Structure 1
């Protein structure tokens, strides 16, 4: 017996259009190449970022000049 399950539906991160998540959806999770490129541009312009620990290399007061 084969099980038929409903397809997985996700929302395009850019425009919120519903997208079927399967091999026929070439740009998944995006609905189109346009939405994919908009998202890429947002990452490139640093409008989006993955939260993490702050970069302390310039702000922690450490210096290579130890005053010797």
Structure 2
């Protein structure tokens, strides 16, 4: 009887640990995805600004020419 309870407790703790671990993994994945997205967006914005400045200059010169 006692042995069975010990095994059940061990199984329960193991499942609990697995559940906690999976939740933590999912949480870190979501956070890392958000951080990655944020970094990518920042880089894209910086690139966009770098690309946009010459494009705007070109557009203005074209407007002046026409």
> Aligning the two structures, in what range does the TM-score lie when normalised by the shorter sequence?
0.3 to 0.5
- Radius of gyration: which is bigger? 2
Higher normalized contact order (CA 8 Å, seq sep 6+, divided by chain length): 1
TM-score, with structure 2 as normaliser? 0.34
Q: Which has the higher helix share?
A: 2
